[in-house]
Copies of this chain bind each other. A is one copy, B any other.
Amino acid sequence: MSGLVIYRTPIAPEWIDYNGHVRDAYYALITSYAVDRLMDHLGIDARYREQTTCTLYTVEMHTHYLREIGARDTVEARVRILGADGKRLHAALELFCDGKPDAAASCEVMLLHIRQNPTPRTAPFPEKIAAAIAELRRMTAAMTAAGPGSRRIELGNR
Q: Which residue numbers of A lie inside 8 Å of B, CB to CB? A: 18-20, 23-26, 28-29, 31-32, 46, 49, 55, 57-65, 68, 83-85, 88, 90, 108-110, 116, 120, 149-155, 157
Contacts and interface: CB of A to CB of B under 8 A. Distances in A.
Nearest to A58: B24
B28 A154 contact: no
Given A60-B63, A62-B60, A83-B155, A29 B19 contact: no
A153 B49 contact: no
A156 B151 CA distance: 14
14 contacts: A18-B49, A18-B55, A24-B58, A25-B29, A59-B65, A60-B63, A62-B63, A62-B153, A83-B154, A85-B155, A90-B154, A90-B155, A150-B152, A151-B152
B155 A24 contact: no
